[in-house]
Amino acid sequence: MKDIVKSQAADEYKVINGKKVRLTRRRRRSNVMTYSALAVAVFTAIGLVACLCFLFDLKEVKVTGVTLYTNDQILAVGGVESGANLIRTNTSVIEKRLTDTLPYIKSAAVDKDYPNSLNITIVEEVKCAEIEKDGRYYVIAESGKILEAANPEHNAKLPLVKGFSLKDPETNKKIVSEDDHKAKVLLNLLDSIRNSGFEKITAIDITERTDILLDYDGRIQIKLGSSIDLDYKLASLKAVIDQKLSDTYEGTLKYNGANSGISAIPKGALNRPVTTPAQTTTTPAAQDGQTEQPVTDENGQPVETQPETPAEQPLIDEVKPETQPAEQPAEQPAGQPAGEEYTGWQQEEPQPAEQPAAQEYNGWQQ
């Protein structure tokens, strides 16, 4: 019996640094702390489960910025389901699904709105041109993405790009050209057209990258030259069309350079027939008062010669955009004395002196 008592006493005391320490209370306190920690962990787990299962269920989805797709299409492609847990919803995955699947979506932003809502903001692509390949038409966006592939007919509301060889075209992919530089040139040109507010462009010809041609409203051909300083060139040409030309003008506008201005050639001016008398030479007999003889070739046949084209005349007013390009081309128009600064833009209509001009220019000088 004594051994049992001693054993119990030994269990209650412990010698530490030569002193007996009672352990019963400390053990009880340790057990209380352990049980408390377990209780906290259990309640935390229960709360987390409740949050995941009940408190943050998705009840409302707001979609904004979309006009080309329905809300149901957005939700289906994004994999958004009513009742899904908002905490476990991966917004990055939804965004990637939308941009990778729907070509007209330029960007998508998905944000959580606790406790039960999801906001989806869409930015759509804008159609800006069409490219023809093998009799089929491919709609492209300003970003260079192919929005529609292999359409059987051309959309007359979009400018048709010529001289661009599409390579392996595929919907929702960037355009690639057989000429690596043309894709960059075309995208820069489309961006400049948008920035300048140039509308009514019906065709774009980049067959030669140094001789870009635009067709405006089906009545004016615009010769841009190279792809350098496109913003400045288009701003200058737009100012001329808006301020100098009538709404019925037909012909060609040629950009000559920042210092040389813009030339206008009315439609049919270069092909207009010109009647000129045969040139004559003065023979010794003519010097004595006899009749002059016409110029003849070695067989005695009369030779007709063309008169020189009259020098181009600048307009009275000068039209220039507010900013100048970084580098000024050193081009000099025909008929302009070397070393003299050209301050206007020119009218290129070759007409002989005896033929009256058939075009009215509303304040221009011919």
Sequential pLDDT tens for the chain (366 residues): 445 444 444 455 666 666 666 655 555 566 677 777 777 777 676 666 655 566 788 999 999 999 999 999 999 999 999 889 898 899 999 999 999 999 999 999 999 999 899 999 999 999 999 999 999 999 999 999 999 999 999 999 999 999 999 999 999 999 999 998 999 999 999 999 999 999 999 999 999 999 999 999 999 999 999 999 999 999 999 999 999 999 999 999 999 988 888 999 998 876 655 444 444 444 344 444 444 444 444 555 554 444 444 444 344 344 555 555 554 444 444 444 443 333 345 444 444 444 444 343 343 333
Q: Is residue 169 part of a domain?
A: no
Q: Which residues pair with 139 in a beta bridge?
A: 130, 148
Q: Is residue 5 part of a domain?
A: no
Choose the final residue of a domain: 104, 124, 144: 124
Question: What does the block give as tokens for 270?
Answer: 């270069």
Choose the final residue of a domain: 79, 105, 124: 124
Same domain, 70 and 119: yes
Pick from 140, 259, 167, 162: nearest CA to 211? 162
Same domain, 37 and 75: no
Distance CA 89, CA 117 (A): 11
Question: What does the block give as tokens for 43?
Answer: 């309640």
Q: Is residue 146 part of a domain?
A: no
CATH number of the domain that 115 lies in? 3.10.20.310
Q: Is residue 362 part of a domain?
A: no
**DSSP code for 317:** S
Number of structural domains, the chain? Answer: 3
Same domain, 185 and 267: yes
Q: What is the structure's pLDDT at 41?
A: 78
Q: How many CB atoms lie within 10 A of CB 183?
A: 18
Same domain, 115 and 252: no
Q: What is the structure's pLDDT at 1?
A: 44
Q: What is the structure's pLDDT at 39?
A: 74
Same domain, 250 and 263: yes
- Strand runs labelled E in the chain: 13-16, 19-22, 60-64, 105-113, 117-124, 127-133, 136-141, 146-151, 160-162, 201-205, 212-216, 220-225, 251-257, 261-266, 280-281, 293-294, 313-314, 346-347
Distance CA 256, CA 322 (A): 18
The residue range of the domain holding 35 is: 13-55
Same domain, 86 and 183: no
- Strand runs labelled E in 134-219: 136-141, 146-151, 160-162, 201-205, 212-216
Same domain, 323 and 231: yes
Q: Is residue 151 part of a domain?
A: no
**DSSP code for 355:** S
Same domain, 70 and 186: no
Same domain, 194 and 326: yes
Pick from 138, 143, 109: nearest CA to 126? 143
Same domain, 89 and 103: yes
Q: Is residue 158 part of a domain?
A: no
Same domain, 51 and 79: no
Any alpha helices (H) in 13-90, and if so which ranges?
A: 24-50, 71-78
Q: Is residue 358 part of a domain?
A: no
Q: Is residue 279 part of a domain?
A: no
Same domain, 319 and 232: yes
